[in-house]
Amino acid sequence: MTESSAATSRSDAAQVTRSQERTAQLTAALTALTERIDAACRAADRAPGSVRLLPVTKFHPASDIEILYELGCREFGESREQEAAGKVAQLGHLSRVRWEFIGRLQRNKAKSVATWANTVYSVDSERLATALDSGVRAALDSGDRETPLRVLIQVSLDEDPTRGGVGDESLLALAEQVEKSESLQLAGLMAIPPMDVEPDIAFARLARIHSSLLSEHPKARELSAGMSGDLEAAVRHGSTCVRVGTALMGARPITSA
């Protein structure tokens, strides 16, 4: 064996070891997180398994998604269009993946996201809804997608425009626009609680807003609320989907692939 081939062999062995270690980390974290969500459901008198876990994989490499896919995960949340598009292309062999866009979305990125996203969680303006509807229609016409785009309207719980979200006074009009659009499907609501408000207070308010929406749009049943630090409170107040990054993926890596 030449010096070069020996070095290659050592590098390959080290890579295998890192992959095995990461698989063990993610396996343990996923098991613990699933148990935590089920415990939150039981504490809220809800059936275990009734709250969906959305792994938030932004900033983490595509190899982590491959591991989670092998562990049974099929949905992955991304929030940066360019990073997400790269992962979509890289992981095209994972045929059952559903990509969820959870971050703030600029209208000029809507056309790209419309080609690969199963759901966009952060629709908060009529102009963004219009851009997405146009992008999805184009993707349907070109064969880049086969189904309408599921949309969750992001609700603002603190009226802070820098954090995204639509206020109560504009919610029903936006919901009506999405419902009537050709290529969008109104799936429900999403919110991020204000940092200076108790999660239970914020999520109780969100539950009331969701109840009001359901009276007008009964099919908008999804309520995406709760992350690593507050998922128990979210489950208590009716969340159907928790978006979890750190508690599953660990600390954000310095670089991502």
Q: What is the pLDDT of residue 30?
A: 98
| Residues in contact with 236: Cβ distance below 8 Å, sequence separation at least 6, in sequence order | 40, 43, 44, 200, 203
The C-alpha atoms of residue 192 and residue 214 are separated, in whole angstroms, by 19
3-state SS class at 195? coil
- Note the pLDDT of residue 257: 42
Q: Are 36 and 231 in contact (CB under 8 A)?
A: yes
The β-bridge partners of 150 are 119, 185
**Residue 222 forms beta bridges with which residues?**
188
Contact between 140 and 183 (Cβ < 8 Å): yes
Contact indicator for 166, 190 with CB cutoff of 8 Å = no
**Residue 43 burial (CB count, 10 A):** 11
Give the model's pLDDT for residue 1: 55
With a CB cutoff of 8 Å and minimum separation 6, the contacts of 253 are 59, 60, 61
Q: Extract the runs of DSSP E, i.e. beta strands, from 34-170.
A: 52-55, 75-78, 98-101, 117-123, 149-155
Give the CA distances from residue 101 to residues 12, 140, 162, 246, in Å, rounded to whole numbers and listed in that order: 34, 18, 18, 17
How far is residue 107's CA from residue 218's CA, in Å, rounded to a whole number? 28
Could you report the average pLDDT of every consecutive run of 10 residues in the chain (257 residues)? Answer: 56 75 97 98 97 97 97 97 96 96 95 97 97 97 96 92 85 97 97 94 97 97 97 98 97 63
User: Which pLDDT score is estimated for 10?
Assistant: 53
Distance from C-alpha of 81 to C-alpha of 226, rounded to nearest angstrom: 22
Q: Which CATH superfamily hosts domain 3-249? A: Alanine racemase (3.20.20.10)
Q: Which two tokens stand for residue 80?
A: 């940066």
Q: Which helix (H) or strand (E) holds 246?
A: helix 246-249
Which 3 state secondary structure label does DSSP give 131? helix
Q: Six-digit token pair at 68?
A: 């989670």
pLDDT for 15 equals: 75
